[in-house]
Amino acid sequence: MECKECGSEMERERKSDWDVQLGYPQYYAYRCSKCNLLTFVHWKEEVNDES
């Protein structure tokens, strides 16, 4: 998963923390290690991203 801001590789945050806060288990939180941008990705988009 690439960061839209700086193009670095983003890492998925621990899902459970965001599930509880947002109530969106179908969304994943990605955090960029370089610029710290937080992005939410729907699980369907994530699956399709691999192609």
Please say if the pLDDT value at position 7 is more than 80: yes
Residue 43, in any domain of the structure? yes
How far are the Cα atoms of 1, 5, 6, 9, 34 from residue 24, in angstroms, in the given order?
Answer: 19, 24, 26, 23, 26
Decide: 32 and 8 in contact? Cβ < 8 Å.
yes
Single pTM value for the model: 0.59
The domain in which residue 29 lies consists of: 10-48
- 10-12 vs 38-42, strand pairing mode: unpaired
Higher pLDDT, 9 or 20: 9
Compute the distance between CA of residue 23 and CA of residue 46 in angstroms, rounded to an integer: 18
Residue 1, in any domain of the structure? no
Residue 41, in any domain of the structure? yes
Residue 4, in any domain of the structure? no
Domain count, the chain: 1
Residue 5, in any domain of the structure? no
| pLDDT digit string, tens, across residues 13-45 | 876 666 656 666 677 889 999 999 998 888 787
pLDDT of residue 51: 43
Helices (H), 1-51: 15-22, 43-48
Residue 2, in any domain of the structure? no
Residue 16, in any domain of the structure? yes
Residue 3, in any domain of the structure? no
pLDDT of residue 27: 77
